[in-house]
Every structure is written in structure tokens, then in C-alpha cells.
Amino acid sequence: MPGASKRILLVSSSGGVLLDLLALGPWWARHHAVWAAVKAPDSVSALAGQRVHWIREASIRRPIGLITGLAQAWRIIRKERPELVVSAGSAPAIAYFFFARARGIPTFWLSSLNILTTPGISARICARLTSRVLLQQSSMRGAHPDGIVIGELY
């Protein structure tokens, strides 16, 4: 049914990734949105009043943190049963995209505004796991030829 509300899981670290997802607020606010977000001063204040699962920061350079992130992601995805997972990248999103893909849940990965030409390791992994790559910069077409250019969000 068009326009029906979906269960959406937004996965974010703090900083620019959080800003990118907050800019999508007019869209996700029409749905049942829940966050899996890294607890930091900016995310705590920006997500006040939202349903949030506070998660640990992860880094490709610290594989043990990614393992912990896998366990958290599995628990949250099983509990929330999202119909769509959305992130603007960063290492915490990798585990969520991995489990979403394994369970057949569509994912959107939003290329962050601060990356102009060459995505980092986490971004490359997320882009390979996602159902759809959304680009804010047309300059990212070289890295993501199948990406959809949506333009800058803010």
C-alpha cells in the first residue's frame, strides 16, 4: 500500500553521519523510526525524544570492536524487525548491513556529504552490502556508478 508506514532502523555514529540522517527527518518522521546510534554529546542532544539503542563506536582498525558490534546489531535487528535499514556510513553500519542483507531486509546507504571522490574502507564495505547507494555529490559517481544522485541534504 503506497504511503504505508514502515519500520525503519537508522544507524549512525556521531558528527556528519548523524547530520546526514537528521536531514532526512521529513522522510523518516512519517514512519516508525528507531535509531542505533553511537552515544556522544551531539547524538544524545539531537536524538532526544527519539527511540534510540545506544551502540558502541566501531572501527575497521579495531576488529574486536567490530565483533562486539555484530552481537549488538544482531540483537537490535531481531528485536526491532526493521523493514528498511538506513545509514550514512561509518564502521558501526557494517554489522547492520551485513545482518540486514542476510535476512533479506533492504538497506539504503547514503554517501556522506564530506566525501567528495574517494570513499573510505567502511563506506566501500557498506556500499557493497547495501540495496541502494544514495549520493549527495555527483563526483561520487566514479566510485558508485549505480548510485542515485539525490543532491545535498543541507
Annotated domain spans of the chain:
7-149
CATH of 7-149, one of 3.30.465.10, 2.40.50.140, 3.40.50.2000, 1.25.40.80: 3.40.50.2000
Q: pLDDT, tens digit, for every residue of 58-72?
A: 766 666 666 778 899
Beta strands in 32-120 (DSSP E): 32-38, 52-55, 84-87, 107-110
Q: pLDDT, tens digit, for every residue of 20-58?
A: 999 999 999 999 999 999 999 999 999 999 999 999 887
Q: pLDDT, tens digit, for every residue of 89-98?
A: 778 899 999 9
pLDDT band with cut points at 50, 70 and 90 for residue 143: confident
